[in-house]
A and B are shown apart, each in its own frame.
Chain A
């Protein structure tokens, strides 16, 4: 069945460092990937997305890399700030017409001042 997993449950960094959060997915038919940020007590917030025909996409302070060969996704956050502390989820969507997202279990990012 479909599964999306993460390598590290918790990542601790210092303010100003760059953070890298990794995600492995198993459904080779997935054609769309999203990173969400979830702060405590809130719903997931869209960060950045990437389609399967791309390898890299950049946003403001964030970059998503997609390696389809090894089915690996990563989120890079530049100059991490305390406000970046949250749980980060990767999610994927298959090529079927329905919009079901499959979420990973999440990585908690802790940023120390």
Chain B
């Protein structure tokens, strides 16, 4: 059973460009979470999605950030008009059902904004 997959692993964008980060949950998992990690810090929750629904986006910046988890395909975290402060590692986690507390994390996407 393959783990959570994220791509790309590394992404470099210039200020003002768009960044798209992809997450394929573990097989059979329908719940996806996105977290952001700044260097030397813990992970900060961004958004929690189920298939085709955003359940909790309380950690998402109000502007430029969006997330989706379509019926088919991976979950996408989109950052528009990136700024240097967006540089971070973005981790995706998945779980098979809401009351399964353990979240399985992917390897992360390291975004660098130049």
Binding site for B on A (CB under 8 A): 4, 32, 34, 36, 41-46, 49, 89, 91, 93, 97-106
Contact = CB atoms under 8 A, between A and B. Distances in A.
B41 A99 contact: no
Interface residues of B, number: 27
Given A42-B107, A43-B107, A100-B58, A32 B45 contact: no
B43 interface: yes
B69 interface: no
Contacts of A99: 31, 33, 48, 95, 98, 101, 103
Interface of B: 4, 31, 33, 35, 40-45, 48, 55-56, 58-59, 91, 93, 95, 98, 101-108
15 contacts: A34-B101, A42-B107, A43-B91, A49-B101, A91-B42, A98-B48, A99-B33, A99-B101, A100-B58, A101-B45, A103-B42, A105-B41, A105-B42, A106-B41, A106-B42
Contacts of B45: 100-102
Given A34-B101, A98-B48, 4 more contacts: A32-B101, A43-B107, A46-B102, A99-B48
A11 to B, nearest CB: 15
Contacts of B106: 43
Contacts of A102: 45
